[in-house]
């Protein structure tokens, strides 16, 4: 019965995505906010009258912070709606009510109710989904509404509320073609989620950016709180510290430090979740830019009883200039990284095999994801001998594989492993 339900849900989701794509096109970012802010103004007023709104931006860490905050609310008996993006396995991951994904049936109903306005406003894929989230939040009155910024902040669809508690988790060079080529320019875009006289929590590592942020907040009468004073802490601890600070500010309740140490923080798709296939463990970490790769490697290196990994990596569009330097970065950690294997995958946001190859050293191979997995898991005997010899060690003895890159790559990897190898 469960398999039948899963099959029906998959079919409903495929139908939903097809409808939304026909309405809006494929997911992309555009620096435009006024149209969606005006349309949602009444809904915004209703939500702000009954719920506290927390908006979380930053180059990396905003997703984990948002999920951790949602978990803290649930644990303390509060109710919350959570918006995040992108998703890994299901579009329903973007809509959470009290730690549970929306059902695809409810999401389809929301689309039925709002299809005409999505069409008339000519909303993008991302904007349309966010409109559905706001309608979802209206139907489920909660104590808190948590918003993970999609891209940037100043022009992101999430930036419609008038008095949110704001957070910036980190600043790094990413999406430079949209957000700017310098860290200060990127900080400016993220800072756009604040409001005059409001509150901002930050976990930025760069001292000069902290100084700039302090000046801006003083100018705009914003109460600024620096959360973590220890930049050497693993990034996941810094993200959880941010979630704790936001929880305490929004609830006016203090969390006991001893009880925090005992928390079993939940794993979310693409954030250190894992999958066993035979005797091999695939560990998935969404590191979608160079800053993400740096903090990931540092966190593994800092762990006691260090494990070593064979790395499976790929890149999405807009990361062409980071390919060579990212691989070089992994090669500087020989004690924990045994090999780096570049894979191509099928997605509208994926870099093609040819583009990957052009940005790699001569002689470095790019493997097609399905052929690669079937080869190392010993189900595909048709791979040419040259390719097979290059990954023979993986086929015969690697037990720990670290899957890193964009969430689109992780989604492709997880879906294939679940479909073909999950028992």
DSSP category for residue 103: P
Tell me the pLDDT tens digit for each residue of 260-278.
888 989 888 888 899 998 8
For residue 181, give the 3-state DSSP assignment: coil
**Boundary of a domain, candidates 243, 261, 279:** 261
Q: Look-up: residue for tokens 């080869």?
A: 375
CA distance 55 to 168: 9
- Shared domain for 105 and 217, answered yes or no, is yes
Q: Give the side-chain half-sphere CA count within 13 A for 154.
A: 12
Report pTM. 0.91
pLDDT value of position 385: 46
CA distance 199 to 224: 6
CA distance 12 to 231: 45
Q: Is residue 1 part of a domain?
A: no
CATH number at residue 348: 3.90.190.20
The tokens for 319 are 């990361």
pLDDT value of position 396: 63
- Shared domain for 281 and 249, answered yes or no, is no
- Shared domain for 52 and 192, answered yes or no, is yes
- Shared domain for 42 and 185, answered yes or no, is yes
Contact 321, 176 (CB under 8 A): no
Q: Is residue 395 part of a domain?
A: yes
Given a cut of 50, the residues of the chain with pLDDT beneath it are 385, 389
Count of the separate structural domains present in the chain: 2
Helix (H) or strand (E) holding 349: none
Contact 242, 61 (CB under 8 A): yes
For residue 398, give the 3-state DSSP assignment: coil
User: What distance separates the 2 farthest-apart alpha carbons in the chain?
Assistant: 66
- Shared domain for 41 and 185, answered yes or no, is yes
- Shared domain for 153 and 220, answered yes or no, is yes
Helix (H) or strand (E) holding 277: strand 271-277
Q: Is residue 266 part of a domain?
A: no
What DSSP string runs through 95-121? EEETTEEPPHHHHHHHHHHHHHHHHHH
- Shared domain for 246 and 290, answered yes or no, is no
- Shared domain for 84 and 230, answered yes or no, is yes
- Shared domain for 302 and 375, answered yes or no, is yes
Closest by CA to 318, choosing from 340, 349, 287, is: 349
- Shared domain for 256 and 293, answered yes or no, is no
Q: How far is CA 243 from CA 165, 283, 405, in A?
A: 12, 24, 24
Helix and strand numbers, DSSP H then E, in the chain: 18, 14
CATH number at residue 232: 3.40.1190.10
pLDDT value of position 85: 93
End-to-end CA distance of the chain: 16
- Shared domain for 143 and 233, answered yes or no, is yes
Helix (H) or strand (E) holding 168: strand 165-168
pLDDT value of position 98: 97
CA distance 194 to 217: 9
pLDDT value of position 398: 62
Tell me the pLDDT tens digit for each residue of 106-152.
999 999 999 999 999 999 999 999 999 999 999 999 999 999 999 88
Full residue range of the structural domain in which residue 34 is found: 7-261
Q: Is residue 285 part of a domain?
A: yes
CA distance 294 to 299: 9
DSSP E strands, 25-102: 52-57, 80-83, 95-97, 100-101
How far does CA 230 lie from the centroid of its chain? 24
Q: 378 has which bridge partners? A: none
CA distance 171 to 186: 7
The tokens for 183 are 């860290």
CA distance 400 to 416: 18
259-267: long-range pairs with CB below 8 Å, 24+: 263/75, 265/68, 265/71, 265/240, 266/67, 266/71, 266/99
- Shared domain for 198 and 288, answered yes or no, is no
Q: Give the side-chain half-sphere CA count within 13 A for 202.
A: 25
Closest by CA to 312, choosing from 373, 259, 236, 271, is: 373
pLDDT value of position 284: 95
């Amino acid at each position: 019965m469960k398999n039948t339900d899963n099959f029906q849900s998959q079919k409903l989701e495929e139908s939903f995505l097809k409808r939304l794509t026909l309405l809006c096109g494929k997911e992309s970012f555009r620096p435009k906010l006024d149209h969606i802010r005006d349309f949602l103004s009444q809904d915004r007023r209703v939500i702000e009258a009954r719920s506290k709104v927390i908006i979380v931006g930053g180059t990396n860490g905003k997703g984990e912070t948002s999920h951790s905050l949602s978990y803290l609310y649930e644990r303390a008996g509060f109710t919350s709606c959570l918006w995040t993006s992108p998703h890994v396995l299901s579009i329903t991951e973007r809509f959470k009510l009290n730690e549970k994904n929306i059902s695809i049936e409810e999401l389809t109903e929301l689309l039925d109710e709002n299809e005409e306005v999505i069409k008339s406003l000519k909303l993008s894929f991302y904007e349309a989904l966010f409109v559905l989230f706001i309608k979802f939040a209206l139907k489920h009155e909660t104590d808190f509404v948590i918003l993970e910024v999609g891209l940037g902040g100043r022009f992101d669809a999430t930036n419609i509320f008038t008095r949110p508690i704001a957070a910036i988790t980190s600043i790094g060079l990413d999406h430079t073609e949209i957000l700017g080529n310098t860290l200060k320019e990127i900080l400016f875009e993220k800072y756009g989620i604040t409001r005059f006289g409001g509150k901002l929590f930050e976990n930025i590592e760069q001292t000069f950016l902290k100084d700039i942020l302090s000046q801006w907040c003083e100018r705009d009468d914003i109460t600024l709180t620096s959360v973590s004073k220890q930049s050497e802490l693993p990034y996941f601890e810094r993200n959880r510290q941010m979630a704790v600070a936001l929880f305490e500010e929004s609830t006016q309740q203090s969390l006991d430090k001893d009880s925090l140490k005992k928390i079993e923080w939940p794993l979310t798709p693409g954030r250190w979740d894992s999958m066993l296939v035979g005797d091999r463990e695939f560990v998935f970490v969404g590191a979608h830019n160079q800053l993400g790769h740096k903090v990931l490697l540092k966190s593994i290196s800092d762990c006691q009883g260090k494990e070593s990994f064979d790395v499976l990596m790929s890149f999405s569009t807009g990361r062409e200039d980071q390919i060579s330097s990212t691989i070089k970065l992994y090669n500087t950690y020989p004690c924990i990284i045994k090999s780096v294997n570049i894979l191509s995958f099928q997605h509208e946001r994926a870099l093609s095999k040819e583009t990957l190859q052009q940005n790699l050293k001569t002689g470095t191979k790019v493997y097609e994801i399905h052929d690669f997995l079937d080869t190392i898991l010993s189900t595909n005997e048709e791979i040419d001998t040259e390719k097979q010899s290059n990954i023979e060690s993986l086929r015969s003895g690697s037990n720990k594989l670290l899957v890193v890159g964009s969430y689109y790559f992780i989604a492709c990897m997880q879906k294939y492993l679940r479909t073909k190898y999950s028992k």
